[in-house]
Amino acid sequence: MTSANPAFLAIGVGLCFVALSILLLVTLGSGRSPIALSRRRPGVSDSRSLLTKATDQATSFVERRVGRGASFGSRESLDQAGLKMGQADFILLVGCAAVTAGFVGFFINGIAFGVLFLLATPMAGIIFLKFLTGRRRAKFEDQLGDTLQMLAGGLRAGHSLLRSVDAVAKETEAPTSEELARIVNETRLGRELRESIQDAAHRLRSEDFDWTGQAIEIHREVGGDLAEVLDHVGETIRERSQIKGQVKSLSAEGRLSAYILTGLPILVFLWLSVANPSYVGTLYTTFLGWIMLVVGTLLLMTGAFWLSRVIKIKF
């Protein structure tokens, strides 16, 4: 135990009181309040628990304070990741996780780790969103060839294009079923099918699905056998997917090396900070140590960016 630990404990207790104060302010809310359930549905009692009421108050508070143009946890990014929650819910979840991680870091190795964990949590939330988005896009690309084959089969059976899309949306798995169902719903509400397909292709960043939309639009202008067109497009997409798989397998060793070289210094630093705090304590207790940390972080970020460019193959 060092002599600085009581000071750190006092700061931690102060942060706890600040967090509780903020929680009370959020729970009580300020500004306009939501319409009471007794006014919206007369005769129905409010059977929600105290925790549910506090959560609803906190969510409404965040919705009022966060602008619609905020990029963190935007509706578009949540849709791309396939998360069925609002922006306020996501921000509140990340905020609670950040406060919890900050206290955990503080009790592990002092205020420096508390601040580090607190600031790292929103970054982890962004990385998590990107991971879910990438996995969802990859799964959609893998399903696209079979999706086009099912669409062509529906057209050959005599169904219209929209009816075929609706049938495929009911028979396939997510995320294809979710995106096709959204296209069908938007079209039924009066939006052009071409615009809905282009919006879905932009949301998924799928060049192959964009090609599918262009093929459908060309068919609507010049006519012809759309089922045969979709068969050719699906065959081309399957060949591209096979080439992508080959490229990914050939570059797997380089990607694994990049992950290890990037993550190993961070893991070693965290392990030494827990196992032997006095050994690495000089890095964040002296001015020279902070300079070394900043320089090391910049060099690590530069190396990670360089490795990401090396292993990223465009074709």
Segments of the chain assigned E as strands: none
As a whole-number percent, the residues of the chain with pLDDT over 70 amount to 75
pLDDT beyond 60 at 117: yes
Asked whether residue 155 falls in the same domain as residue 219, the answer is yes
Q: Which of 98-112, 132-146, 234-248 has the lowest mean pLDDT?
A: 98-112
Enclosing domain of residue 292:
251-315
| Domain annotation covers residue 128 | no
| Domain annotation covers residue 170 | yes
Yes or no: say if 118 and 68 are a contact pair by the CB < 8 Å rule.
no
Q: Which of 103-117, 119-133, 182-196, 276-290 has the lowest mean pLDDT?
A: 103-117
Nearest-CA neighbor of 280 among 269, 294, 296?
A: 269
Confidence of residue 299 (pLDDT cuts 50, 70, 90): very high
Tokens, residue 40: 């919206």
Q: What is the pLDDT of residues 277-296, one digit of tens each?
A: 788 878 878 888 888 888 98
pLDDT beyond 80 at 113: no
Cα 99 from Cα 191, distance rounded (Å):
43
Q: Which of 24-33, 205-214, 302-311 has the lowest mean pLDDT?
A: 24-33
Tokens, residue 54: 């506090």
> Among the three residues 211, 232, 250, which one is the final residue of a domain in this structure?
250
Cα 253 from Cα 306, distance rounded (Å):
16
pLDDT beyond 70 at 212: yes
Q: What local confidence, expressed as pLDDT, does residue 2 receive? A: 43
Nearest-CA neighbor of 119 among 135, 97, 141?
A: 97
67-71-104-282 Cα dihedral, nearest 10 degrees? -120
Q: What local confidence, expressed as pLDDT, does residue 206 receive? A: 85
> Among the three residues 231, 250, 269, which one is the final residue of a domain in this structure?
250
Higher pLDDT, 275 or 70: 275
Number of domains in the chain: 2
- Give mean pLDDT, residues 237-241: 83
- Most confidently modeled of 65-69, 129-133, 225-229, 254-258? 129-133
| Domain annotation covers residue 239 | yes
Yes or no: say if 102 and 114 are a contact pair by the CB < 8 Å rule.
yes
Asked whether residue 308 falls in the same domain as residue 284, the answer is yes
Asked whether residue 278 falls in the same domain as residue 267, the answer is yes
Nearest-CA neighbor of 128 among 89, 80, 69, 96?
A: 80
> Among the three residues 250, 267, 290, which one is the final residue of a domain in this structure?
250
| Domain annotation covers residue 26 | no
Asked whether residue 203 falls in the same domain as residue 270, the answer is no
- Give mean pLDDT, residues 289-314: 85
| Domain annotation covers residue 167 | yes
Asked whether residue 229 falls in the same domain as residue 279, the answer is no
Yes or no: say if 161 and 155 are a contact pair by the CB < 8 Å rule.
yes
Q: What is the pLDDT of residues 43-95, one digit of tens each?
A: 555 555 555 655 665 566 556 566 555 566 677 788 888 888 777 778 777 88
Q: Which of 58-72, 94-108, 115-129, 284-298 has the lowest mean pLDDT?
A: 58-72
Q: Which of 107-116, 135-144, 262-271 has the lowest mean pLDDT?
A: 107-116
Asked whether residue 262 falls in the same domain as residue 163, the answer is no
Cα 99 from Cα 297, distance rounded (Å):
24
Tokens, residue 262: 């990037």
Q: What is the pLDDT of residues 154-200, one digit of tens each?
A: 888 888 888 888 888 888 888 888 889 999 998 888 888 888 888 88
Asked whether residue 275 falls in the same domain as residue 302, the answer is yes
As a whole-number percent, the residues of the chain with pLDDT over 90 amount to 2
| Domain annotation covers residue 71 | no
Q: Report which secondary-structure segment, H or E, holds 266.
A: helix 252-275
Look over the chain and give the mean of its residue pLDDT values, rounded to a whole number: 77
Asked whether residue 191 falls in the same domain as residue 231, the answer is yes
Asked whether residue 155 falls in the same domain as residue 181, the answer is yes
| Domain annotation covers residue 37 | no
| Domain annotation covers residue 210 | yes
Asked whether residue 224 falls in the same domain as residue 274, the answer is no
Yes or no: say if 270 and 112 are a contact pair by the CB < 8 Å rule.
no
- Give mean pLDDT, residues 141-151: 87
Asked whether residue 232 falls in the same domain as residue 283, the answer is no
Q: What local confidence, expressed as pLDDT, does residue 56 receive? A: 61
Asked whether residue 149 falls in the same domain as residue 245, the answer is yes
Instruction: Tell me the CA distances in angstroms from 206 to 117, 140, 223, 306, one per residue in order.
Output: 35, 9, 25, 25
Q: What local confidence, expressed as pLDDT, does residue 53 receive? A: 57
Cα 178 from Cα 175, distance rounded (Å):
5
Yes or no: say if 230 and 168 are a contact pair by the CB < 8 Å rule.
no
Q: Report the CATH number at residue 179.
A: 1.20.81.30
Q: What local confidence, expressed as pLDDT, does residue 75 receive? A: 74
Count, residues in the chain: 315
pLDDT beyond 50 at 31: no
